[in-house]
Amino acid sequence: MSFSNILAMKKRRRNNLSTSKKEPRLTIPPVNGLRENSGSIPTDLLVEILSRVPAKSIARFRCVSKDWCSILRRPDFTNHFSTMSSARPRLLFTFQADGKWSFFSTPHSPDPDQNSSPLVVDSYTHVLSNSSFGVCRPVCGLVCSKDEGLLSGKRGPCLWICNPSVGLSKPLPNVRTRRSRIHTFTGYDPIEKTFKVLGMTSSAKPLLHKTEEHQVLTLGRGKPKWRKIACPVTHMPQYSSEICIDGVIYYLAEDEVSLDACMLVCFDVKSETFKFMINEELKDLGSSSTLIDYKGKVGVLCGPYSFLSARIKSIELWVIDDIEKQKWSRRVLILPPLWRDVLAGTAVCIMGMIGTSEVVFSPRFMSSSPFYIFYYNIEKKTFRRVEIQGIGPFKGQSVYSFINHVENVKPYEFLSST
């Protein structure tokens, strides 16, 4: 071996040694003053380990030291945690009682083939609020209040944003308007990684009110402020149905004179522009409609009534096959005879669909204990119920149930402890 090759090898070794010394490592503080318990963990290994723990644990671990706080607030960690969390979606339940909104979360039922063991909620938080009418569907772990009450005459803000995974919430700024009602939907732009709230205000009368002003609130970038935007089509959003898929908020709406849904509204979160799919066939969707993500396409699950009873024999699945040509496909899902026996006297709503086969139902009100949710596999034609334990003893409260909830640990500074 030549002398020049030997020098080159020594230089590479020095560079590798220098690089290894600069590798970031986190020191574990000693326990009870015992130095033998101290040590260090490479940052990449720590990130991989902590991306598998519950979100509330991450909030506590940020208090261990400045180094831990710095690492656990880095975008690469929070993005990796979100990716890992999306692979283990959860159920989220919330209701309003005693002047607060209470949130409860648990993993999805692991056994799709038979009645599973009870699920016990392992995460919960509370938001003080007496004014909110309801909540929006969670988007990337965040939940926004949905307030259709009168805006005039209220003291303080009526809207709030919450991250139930880590127990953080904050009121949103008041909507500047002379109108008295508001519809809100939450969306997320995956390109710029930005959360936005779409607000549409209207007058209190007549009862079937059309939206008159459209405003957007961007979260996480300085002081939040409502901005007015243009909307080319007058419409009346349906209260109960919305979903955000790949940076677009979808919701069903009615025209100015109809009592039935006849359009699908598409709001692009990044460009803040509207697109409308107007189709008379949408009137057949019925009053109980839930928008779903079906293989990356917009789908709708619907029944004949807002509340489904044991007497219902079928529901419908609508899917947009071609959004540009506004082409829909329709499939009737026949419910099994077991539906009547298991559901008994419980009235349920459609929560959505897990994957491409399991439709999930939940009671709309908390009645007598125990509290159950129901799964129907449309491919295997099986029906099962799962008990949810630990929500609380409240009865008669309206309960909002969501599937595919994703835990979020991103340190948005606009969220502060209540």
Same domain, 179 and 37: no
Task: Label residue 273 by pLDDT band (50, 70, 90).
Answer: very high
Same domain, 28 and 144: no
Same domain, 25 and 158: no
Same domain, 73 and 103: no
Same domain, 64 and 120: no
Same domain, 363 and 231: yes
Q: What local confidence, expressed as pLDDT, does residue 155 receive? A: 47
Point out the domain boundary residue: 82, 106, 132: 82
Same domain, 51 and 105: no
Classify residue 44 by its DSSP letter.
H
Q: What local confidence, expressed as pLDDT, does residue 96 receive? A: 85
Identify the weakest region by mean pLDDT among 4-8, 99-103, 317-321. Answer: 4-8
Confidence check: pLDDT of 403 > 90: yes
Q: What local confidence, expressed as pLDDT, does residue 117 receive? A: 79
pLDDT, mean over the chain: 79
Confidence check: pLDDT of 337 > 90: no
Better-predicted residue by pLDDT, 397 or 7: 397
Does residue 119 sit within a domain? yes
Point out the domain boundary residue: 82, 97, 123: 82
Confidence check: pLDDT of 28 > 70: no
Same domain, 74 and 120: no
Point out the domain boundary residue: 82, 107, 131: 82
Same domain, 164 and 223: yes
Does residue 28 sit within a domain? yes
pLDDT digits (tens, 9 = 90+) for 303-320: 877 788 888 889 999 998
Q: What local confidence, expressed as pLDDT, does residue 22 receive? A: 45
Confidence check: pLDDT of 290 > 60: yes
Task: Label residue 418 by pLDDT band (50, 70, 90).
Answer: very low
Same domain, 185 and 48: no
299 in Cβ contact with 291 (< 8 Å): yes
The whole domain housing 270 covers: 89-405
Does residue 110 sit within a domain? yes
Q: What is the CATH number of the domain that holds 358?
A: 2.120.10.80
Highest mean pLDDT among 109-113, 223-227, 367-371: 223-227
pLDDT digits (tens, 9 = 90+) for 231-248: 998 888 876 678 999 999
User: What's this model's pTM, rounded to 2 decimal places?
Assistant: 0.84
Does residue 275 sit within a domain? yes
Identify the weakest region by mean pLDDT among 56-60, 180-184, 284-288. Answer: 284-288
Look at the chain and report how many structural domains it folds into.
2
